[in-house]
């Protein structure tokens, strides 16, 4: 068969459902092979949109998402999604085209060394130089992308290789199981936990993969282990629990850090160094047990004294069996702190000021979303408010990027969630700056017939950087802009636009948009003066009663 047909057959063997793409001239053989396949082509309006959607498919399913672009500028536009997948640990296959490699008729027109460009961002970056190599390279690419720690893999298919004949069969995938932690490590972990006076459990990004949630929920329920989580660990264990002590949205000086300072042992499940440190280890400080698929990456603020390496769900289950509910620790301080944190989060959640304050925005969003509905955040200062104040009940229901933390990913991420979960409400929350970076994907969302609401937090500025600028004592300079009329902008794409003009109207506007179906854009003016008041002044003045 033709090599491009073999390539598509290899993708079908991997059970690929979608390819998100902005094709080019160098992809035309592959595009023709795709036309008659079982794989659905999702045409996007920018390569970033394709890459972010594919990476989010990987994040939500555990199977590698696939995106496609041409050579040169098409490929370079996928560097940010590649970094997004690499840092976020989202399985992603990137396919790019290239000019013929056996002969050259256009000199260096549009040619950059794509394979070398992507090498630092990918677990593997390979040019296919013979059609017979396609089955093994595709199978190996998916294996690498999906195994711990997941990430991106690039396969470059030159157009003369795509059109050549080949006789190789596809290589079917096989099931991959992870080893379980050794008995000695589990025994020592159980002994240390039982001996601790105030143990504390941390749930990180790595625990939000491979369906570890069920085992962790049983572990917390059986042991009564007080816990907190990182931004990308939210929802693994239901945060609507007396044992929940908050999310480490800040690296220090938040209420949750009072619990960390009080603890004498921290069991860190799924720690990933790409996230901002949820706490800082110090010499002669707390003992830390590292439970993960892979050994700890040690640095100055993270050097665990014990490591339990293997499948997280299996390790947690076996550790729970050893503890057998034998966690006779002092929870009194943690219980008091839980109520203090709940009280702090509820402050100003019914504030009527307009433009709206972030606490009210988060509270109102939570009230219109069911337990398993999905909120996909872009990146800005509001992400800290959602991390601290939004109670997540299920894994994968609040899509935070606390790794690359790139702007422009929120809308494509929400679109992918809407495709995968058609019966659930999906809300994209974007700052006006981040939204405009990939706002053209509204057309894609409308064309696909998605049910999706996009909430734009409008402060006419790059708010996060403006906050940092003021925090450092610099004058307010260079970070404000003008926006289009978002209601008219939505209409121009065939979506429905709304403008909120009173705080009391946000809930009704969101509910009405969800009930109507289709794509809706909600323009909401926000007031970020609470950033300094709460996140700097109030937290700086708090006292941990230790």
Q: Is residue 53 part of a domain?
A: yes
pLDDT at 101: 87
CA distance 277 to 437: 28
Q: Is residue 413 part of a domain?
A: yes
- Asked, for residue 341, whether it belongs to a domain, the answer is no
Is residue 245 located within the same domain as residue 364?
no
Asked if 390 and 466 sit in the same domain, the reply is yes
Residue with the bigger pLDDT between 211 and 270: it is 270
Q: Which of 128, 163, 198 is the last residue of a domain?
A: 163
Q: Report CA-CA distances (Å) from 280 to 177, 232, 303, 348, 471.
A: 33, 18, 10, 30, 22
Which of the residue ranges 71-85, 399-413, 463-477 would you say has the lowest mean pLDDT? Answer: 463-477
Q: Is 294 within 8 Å of 309 (Cβ atoms)?
A: yes
Query: What global pTM score does this model have?
Result: 0.96
Q: Is the pLDDT of residue 392 over 80?
A: yes
Give percent above pLDDT 90 in the chain: 82
Q: Is the same domain home to 188 and 102?
A: no
Instruction: Output the pLDDT for position 381.
Output: 92
Q: Name the average pLDDT for the chain.
A: 94
User: Is residue 169 in a domain?
Assistant: no
Q: Are residues 460 and 421 in the same domain?
A: yes
Residue 276 lies in a domain: yes
Is 39 within 8 Å of 62 (Cβ atoms)?
no
Same domain, 205 and 110: no
Considering only CA atoms, give the Rg of the chain: 24
Q: Are residues 354 and 465 in the same domain?
A: yes
Euclidean distance between CA atoms 326 and 519, whole angstroms: 51
Cβ neighbors of 239 (< 8 A, separation 6 or more) are 229, 247, 391, 392, 393
In SS3 terms, 174-239 reads as CCCCCCCCCHHHHHHHHHHHHHCCCEEEEECHHHHCCCCHHHHHHHHHHHCCCEEECHHHCCCCCC
Is residue 74 assigned to a domain?
yes
Please state the rounded mean pLDDT for residues 317-341.
90
Decide: 39 and 17 in contact? Cβ < 8 Å: yes
Given a cut of 80, whether residue 546 has pLDDT beyond it is: no
Say if residue 511 is in the same domain as residue 469.
yes
How is the beta sheet containing 426-431 ordered, strand by strand? Answer: 398-399, 374-377, 426-431, 452-458, 519-525, 496-499
Please list, residue by residue across 389-424, b when 16 or more beta carbons sit within 10 angstroms of its beta carbon and e when fewer do: bbbbbbbbbbbbbbbbbbbbbbbbbbbbbbbbbeeb
* C-alpha span between 328 and 314 (Å, rounded): 23
- Give the distance from CA 524 to its chain's centroid: 24
pLDDT tens-place string over residues 262-311: 999 999 999 888 888 888 888 888 899 999 999 998 888 889 999 999 99
Measured CA distances, 330 to 195, 196, 225, 334, 442 (Å): 12, 9, 11, 8, 52
Reading the block at residue 166, the tokens are 């080949």
| Residue bearing the bigger pLDDT, 78 or 100 | 78
CB atoms within 10 A of CB 173: 16
110 pLDDT above the threshold of 90: no
Q: How many domains does the chain have?
A: 3
Identify the CATH number of the domain in which residue 314 sits.
Answer: 3.40.50.1220
Residues 203 and 235 in one domain: yes
The predicted pLDDT at position 460 comes to 94
Q: Please, which residues have CB within 8 angstroms of residue 215's CB and are 6 or more apart in sequence?
A: 312, 313, 314, 316, 317, 320
State whether 352 and 324 are in the same domain.
Answer: no
3-state secondary structure at position 61 = helix
Based on the fold, state whether residues 399 and 465 are members of the same structural domain.
yes
**For the residues 125-135, what does the mean pLDDT come to?**
96
Predicted local confidence at residue 545, as pLDDT: 66
413 plus 516 within the same structural domain = yes
Which residues constitute the domain of residue 211? 183-332
Render 283-325 in DSSP notation, one character per residue: TTS-EEEEEESS----BTTB--SEEEES-HHHHHHHHHHHHTT
Token duo for residue 388? 């601290």
Cα separation, 161 vs 155, whole angstroms: 12
Q: Judge whether 542 lies within some domain.
A: no
> Does residue 541 belong to any structural domain of this protein?
no
Instruction: Give the domain-ending residue among 332, 358, 391.
Output: 332
Q: Is residue 246 predicted with pLDDT exceeding 70?
A: yes
Q: Is residue 289 domain-shared with residue 355, that is, in the same domain?
A: no
CA–CA dist 486, 402 (Å, integer): 27
Query: What pLDDT, on the 0 to 100 scale, is given for residue 139?
Result: 97
Q: Residue 108 is part of a domain; what is its CATH number?
A: 3.40.50.970
Cβ contact 96:157 at 8 Å: yes
Tokens of 459: 């402060």
Among 163, 194, 211, give the residue marking a domain's end: 163
């Amino acid at each position: 068969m033709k090599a491009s047909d073999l390539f598509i057959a290899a993708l079908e063997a991997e059970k690929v459902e979608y390819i998100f793409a902005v094709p080019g001239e160098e992809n035309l053989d592959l595009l023709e092979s795709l036309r008659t396949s079982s794989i659905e082509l999702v045409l996007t309006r920018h390569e970033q949109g394709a890459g972010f959607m594919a990476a989010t498919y990987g994040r939500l399913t555990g199977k590698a998402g696939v995106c496609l672009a041409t050579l040169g500028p098409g490929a370079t536009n996928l560097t940010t999604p590649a970094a997004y997948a690499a840092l976020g640990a989202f399985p992603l296959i990137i396919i790019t085209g290239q000019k013929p490699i056996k002969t050259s008729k256009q000199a260096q027109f549009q040619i950059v060394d794509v394979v070398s460009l992507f090498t630092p961002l990918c677990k593997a970056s390979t040019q296919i130089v013979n059609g017979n190599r396609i089955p093994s390279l595709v199978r190996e690419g998916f294996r690498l992308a999906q195994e711990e720690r997941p990430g991106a893999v690039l396969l470059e298919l030159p157009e003369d290789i795509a059109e050549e004949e080949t006789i190789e069969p596809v290589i079917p995938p096989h099931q991959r199981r992870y080893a379980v932690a050794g008995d000695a490590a589990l025994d020592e972990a159980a002994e240390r936990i039982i001996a601790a006076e105030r143990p504390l459990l941390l749930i990180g990004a790595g625990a939000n993969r491979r369906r570890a949630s069920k085992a962790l929920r049983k572990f917390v329920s059986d042991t009564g282990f007080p816990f907190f989580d990182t931004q990308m660990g939210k929802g693994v264990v239901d945060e609507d629990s007396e044992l929940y002590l908050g999310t480490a949205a800040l690296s220090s000086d938040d209420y949750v850090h009072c619990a960390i300072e009080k603890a004498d042992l921290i069991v860190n499940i799924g720690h990933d160094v790409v996230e901002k440190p949820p706490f800082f280890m110090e010499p002669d400080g707390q003992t830390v047990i590292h439970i993960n698929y892979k050994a700890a990456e040690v640095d100055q603020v993270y050097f665990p004294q014990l490591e339990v390496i293997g499948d997280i769900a299996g390790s947690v289950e076996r550790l729970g069996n050893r503890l057998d509910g034998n966690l006779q620790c002092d929870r009194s301080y943690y219980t008091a702190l839980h109520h203090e944190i709940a009280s702090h989060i509820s402050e100003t959640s019914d504030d009527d000021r307009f433009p709206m304050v972030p606490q009210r925005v988060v509270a109102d969003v939570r009230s219109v979303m069911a337990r398993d509905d999905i909120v996909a955040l872009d990146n800005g200062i509001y992400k800290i408010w959602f991390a601290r104040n939004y109670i997540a009940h299920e894994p994968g229901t609040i899509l935070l990027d606390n790794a690359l933390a790139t702007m422009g990913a929120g809308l494509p991420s929400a679109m992918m969630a809407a495709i995968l979960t058609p019966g659930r409400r999906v809300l994209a929350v974007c700052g006006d700056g981040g939204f405009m970076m990939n706002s053209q994907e509204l057309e894609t969302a409308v064309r696909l017939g998605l049910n999706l609401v996009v909430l734009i937090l409008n402060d006419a500025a790059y708010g996060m950087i403006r906050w940092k600028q003021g925090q450092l004592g610099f004058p307010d300079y260079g970070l404000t802009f003008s926006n289009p009329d978002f209601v008219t902008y939505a209409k121009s794409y065939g979506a429905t636009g709304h403008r909120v003009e009173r705080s009391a109207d946000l809930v009704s506007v969101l509910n009405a948009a969800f009930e109507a179906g289709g794509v809706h854009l909600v323009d909401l003016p926000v007031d970020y003066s609470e950033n300094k008041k709460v996140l700097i002044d109030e937290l700086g003045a708090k006292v941990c009663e230790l």
